[in-house]
Amino acid sequence: MEKILVGLKRVVDYNVRVQVKRDGSGVETDGVKMSINPFDEIALEEALRIRERGEASEVIVVSIGSAESQQQLRTGLAMGADRAILVETDTSTDPLTAARIFKTIIDRENAELVILGKQAIDDDNSQTGQMLAAIWGRPQATFASEVSFDGNTARVTREVDIGLETIEIDLPAVITVDLRLNEPRYVKLPDIMKAKKKPLDQLSFAELGVEPAPGIKELAFEPPEARQRGIMVEDVAGLVAALKDKGLV
């Protein structure tokens, strides 16, 4: 295939202990470390491996977000992507609108495969890939833990609740990736230098002609109800006694 599109979302790093703002208007992001959504990094790694096997010729990373998302795109270029596209917006983008944006880019680029993370670890929505496949009228292979190609079909193993399911899909298609698909490569310093010269195009919603989808209103953010720290027992006898006390054994 010719081109693979990969989505890279800028999110609060997975190691950060996220705090809800006092006024309930959102979560604290000031001075907080931001990174590529970990699933998206895996998506990019897979795309690069497909290209390196000679099964695709170009990998394009796409981010929808603030100007700062350029950092994540540059990291993606340093990992090995050929080009980057930033669709700039200062507000957060809902999954259906994001899917519509990807669809317009697919059309512009004639992409045959889109690889996305199975979810972003900020909203935990897990929707964009499925929605993109729907409006494109093409197959979706979600939660992928193994991907291989045979001509115009892909064979994808998916992590489902009862184990591993394998499906076969015709290209073009959307794949969303799970954690065990691969281990993303580390970026080396010379690659970061090289990445600075790679093209990064900026596009706006208006240029793409995308109509935002009816949004879901975010009314209030709250911290979760905390579980109370319980008791510590000294030994196995104490543990068994505590379990008996609760009627659990």
Partner 1 sequence: MSKVLVIAEHNGTALNQSTAKCVACAKQIEGAEVDVAVFAASASSIAAEAAEISGVDRVLVLEREENDPAIAAVLAPQIAALASGYSHVFGPSTAFGKDVMPRVAALLGVNQISDIMRVEGTYRFRRPIYAGNAILTVEAPAEATVVATVRTASYQAADGGNTAAIENVSADAELPTHTRFVGVQTGQSDRPDLQTAAKVVSGGRALGSADNFGLIYKLADKLGAAIGSSRAAVDAGYVPPETQVGQTGQIIAPDLYIAIGISGAIQHITGIKDAGTIVAINKDEEAPIFEVSDIGLVGDLFNIVPELTDALN
Ligand X SMILES: Cc1cc2nc3c(=O)[nH]c(=O)nc-3n(C[C@H](O)[C@H](O)[C@H](O)COP(=O)(O)OP(=O)(O)OC[C@H]3O[C@@H](n4cnc5c(N)ncnc54)[C@H](O)[C@@H]3O)c2cc1C
Window of 64-72, 79-87, 198-206, 208-216 that interacts with partner 1 by CB under 8 A:
208-216
State both tokens at 189.
């310093």
Contact 181, 46 (CB under 8 A): yes
Among 16, 34, 121, 171, binds ligand X (CB under 6 A): 121
Tokens linked to 183: 């281990």
Is the Cβ of residue 19 or residue 204 nearer to partner 1 in the bound state? 19
Contact flag: residue 163 with partner 1 (CB under 8 A): yes
224 cis-preceded (ω within 30 degrees of 0)? no
- Which part of the chain contacts partner 1 (CB under 8 A), choosing from 51-59, 74-82, 184-192, 217-225? 217-225
Give the count of residues interacting with partner 1 (CB under 8 A). 85
User: Phi and psi at residue 152, in whole multiples of 5°?
Assistant: -95, 10
Q: Which residues ranging from 129 to 158 are in contact with partner 1 (CB under 8 A)? A: 129-135, 137-143, 145, 155, 158
Site for ligand X in 12-71 (CB under 6 A): 14, 38
Asked whether the beta carbons of 175 and 154 are under 8 A apart, the reply is: yes
| Torsion angle of C-alpha atoms 93, 97, 100, 106, degrees rounded to 10 | 10
Q: Is 197 in the site for partner 1 (CB under 8 A)?
A: no
Q: Which residue has the tokens 């900026």?
A: 202
Residues of this chain, 135-194, that bind ligand X according to CB under 6 A = 179
What one-character DSSP code corresponds to residue 25?
Answer: S
Q: Does 123 bind partner 1 (CB under 8 A)?
A: yes
Among 54, 189, 190, 231, binds partner 1 (CB under 8 A): 231
Radius of gyration of the chain (CA): 21
